[in-house]
A and B are shown apart, each in its own frame.
Chain A
Amino acid sequence: MTALEQFNGRPDATNPTGRFVGIVMKPFVAITGSVSDDPSSITDTRLDDLTIAIAPAPLSAGMPMEAAANMTVLYSLVSQNTPHLDVAGKSYPDMPTPTSIGSMSDYATRNTIVKKGCSTVDLVGGSYVVQDFVTTYHKLGETPPQFRYCRNIMIDLNVRYGYYLLEQINVVDHVIASDSDTVTVGNVIKPKQWKAVLNNYATDLAQRALTVDVAFMQNSIQVGLSTNNPDRLETYFKYKRSGFARISSTTAEAGFNFGTLV
């Protein structure tokens, strides 16, 4: 696990490492099976890393690798076809189950386990049903942890890859011209053109339910030529990942209708 974490690295605004380095930016999630009652003792110490994601099958007679395979088939399909969704509520397709799954059968315990960076399942209708699919990431003082849910990482990677495609089409190997220059040849990018492309990208992401608040992203876009490198076009933007309704909280108040003496 440590070797995988060191290879994958960590994201950081100024000093990312491993696969999170900007020039690479192809990080992965290592889905790791477990059949122990509570695997959170393994994950709790890995609070700054987001490489390992446990596929739990507590007290199963199957092999840990089977649990990993079950989670992989669920997560890969969701990631490929519907990346705005999560695997929560989906059943492992082929995993031996016990009559009781021990600690994870209790909601409060599952809540404690997930906060230690460990995924959780419940036993429903004789199948393991995913409750939370998370990485070990639960950095101290960060609420909520940015990279807890694997879904968040998949959204980031979708944003990144869509952006990469737009970059390849509109920016890379183009000539950088000033917004006010008169240009009559092709393959030229002006900051205002790139800004316009990203404005549309903000709309596209929201239409795919990967992000919300189009105006927030559009208003944050900054594009300009580097102040110290004439061959570098610099871009900055922010976006808000869409939420996923893991908890539905409702408060209803009931009362009586009394009459009035007049």
Chain B
Amino acid sequence: MVGGDIIEVTYNHPTLGSGVFYPKSAEDSTFDPGGFRGSDDANMVDGGGRNIRQLNQVRWSFESPIAWDMNVTNELATVAALSKSAEEATWTFTSINGTVWQGKGAPVGDIPGNGNQSTIPLKISGGGELKKII
């Protein structure tokens, strides 16, 4: 098994065009494929001792800080524009181990750019599933 950095995050948006973000090295990244999750509650049991399973659906998501070039590419403005758009983009997330994941979605949550480290916390989420395509 090989883990490590996320090499790049690309997007293809129907009106804002296409582009790429570069995640910061040696940062944790989170892949959630989306779908149904079982509730983890020890009290989910009836008087007869029978298990009660609560299954709820969640969105797929990907999370990792990306580099922010304030002088030239200004990723903060791009992420803000993608967040604002009513239309979703197609995203790919490429790992150093060669795998590529894709999903359709948009940035979610706050995007407080870190001026000291020159990074932006990026979380992308959407419906359907985060699918491995390569």
Binding site for B on A (CB under 8 A): 169-170, 174, 179-180, 182-184, 186-190, 192-193, 195-197, 199-200, 203, 218
Within the assembled complex, what's the spacing in Å between the Cα atoms of A184 and B8?
Answer: 11
- Residue among A182, A186, A196, A203 having the largest count of chain B Cβ atoms under 10 Å: A196
For the complex of A and B, list the 5 residue pairs with the smallest distance between their C-beta atoms, beginning with the closest: A196-B102, A200-B104, A196-B92, A197-B90, A192-B100
| Chain B residues closer than 8 Å to A174, beta-carbon distance | 18
Q: Which residue of A lies closest to B13 (CB)?
A: A169
> Could you tell me the dominant secondary structure of chain B's interface residues?
strand
Residues of B within 8 A of A (CB): 7-8, 10, 12, 14, 17-20, 22, 72-73, 90-92, 94, 100, 102, 104, 128, 131, 133-134
Pick 12 A–B contacts, CB within 8 A, sort by A: A179-B100, A184-B72, A188-B18, A189-B18, A192-B134, A193-B12, A196-B10, A196-B91, A197-B12, A199-B131, A200-B104, A218-B131
The answer to whether A193 and B10 touch across the interface, beta carbons within 8 angstroms, is yes
Supplied contacts A179-B134, A182-B8, A190-B10, 10 more A-B pairs, CB within 8 Å: A186-B18, A189-B18, A192-B133, A192-B134, A193-B12, A193-B18, A193-B90, A195-B134, A196-B133, A197-B90
Asked if A192 contacts B18 (CB within 8 A), the reply is: no
Kindly state the separation between the CA atoms of A214 and B118 in the bound complex, as whole angstroms: 40
Minimum Cβ distance to chain B for residue A189 (Å) = 7
Q: Do residues A170 and B19 form an inter-chain contact, with CB atoms below 8 A? A: no
**How far, in whole Å, are A247 and B100 apart by their CA atoms in the complex?**
43
User: How many A-B contacts if CB must be within 8 Å?
Assistant: 61
Min C-beta distance of B13 to chain A, whole Å: 9
Residues of A within 8 A of B12 (CB): 169-170, 193, 196-197
Q: Are B104 and A192 in contact (CB under 8 A)?
A: no
Known: A182-B8, A192-B100. Is A200-B17 also a contact (CB below 8 A)? no
CB-defined contacts of B128 to chain A, threshold 8 Å: 200, 203
Most chain A CB neighbours (cut-off 10 Å) among B8, B72, B90, B94: B90
Contacts of B92 in A (CB 8 A): 192-193, 196
What is the bound-complex CA distance between A195 and B12, given in angstroms? Answer: 11
Chain A residues with CB under 8 Å of B134's CB are 179, 192, 195
A20 to B12, CA, bound (A): 29
How far is it, in angstroms, between the C-alpha of A218 and the C-alpha of B90 when the chains are bound? 14
User: From residue B11, how far is it (CB to closest CB) to chain A in Å?
Assistant: 8
Residues of A within 8 A of B102 (CB): 192, 195-196, 199-200
Docked pose: A192 CA to B18 CA in angstroms: 13
- With the chains together, A189 CA to B10 CA distance in Å? 10
Residues of A within 8 A of B8 (CB): 182
| Residues from chain B with Cβ under 8 Å of A184 in the complex | 20, 72-73
Residues of B within 8 A of A169 (CB): 12, 14
Nearest residue in B to A196 (C-beta to C-beta)?
A: B102
Q: Are A183's CB and B17's CB within 8 A?
A: no
- A182-B8, A192-B100, A193-B10 known; A200-B90 Cβ under 8 A: yes
Shortest B49–chain A CB gap in Å is: 38
Q: In the complex, what residue of chain B is closest to A207 when comparing beta carbons?
A: B128
Name the B residues within 8 Å of A186 (CB-CB): 17-19
B134 to chain A, nearest CB (A): 6
Closest to A170 in B: B12
Asked if residues B94 and A179 are in contact (CB atoms below 8 Å), the reply is yes
**Closest Cβ neighbor of A221 among chain B residues:** B133
B86 CB, min distance to chain A CBs, angstroms: 16
Question: Please, how many angstroms separate the alpha-carbon atoms of A187 and B20 in the complex?
Answer: 10
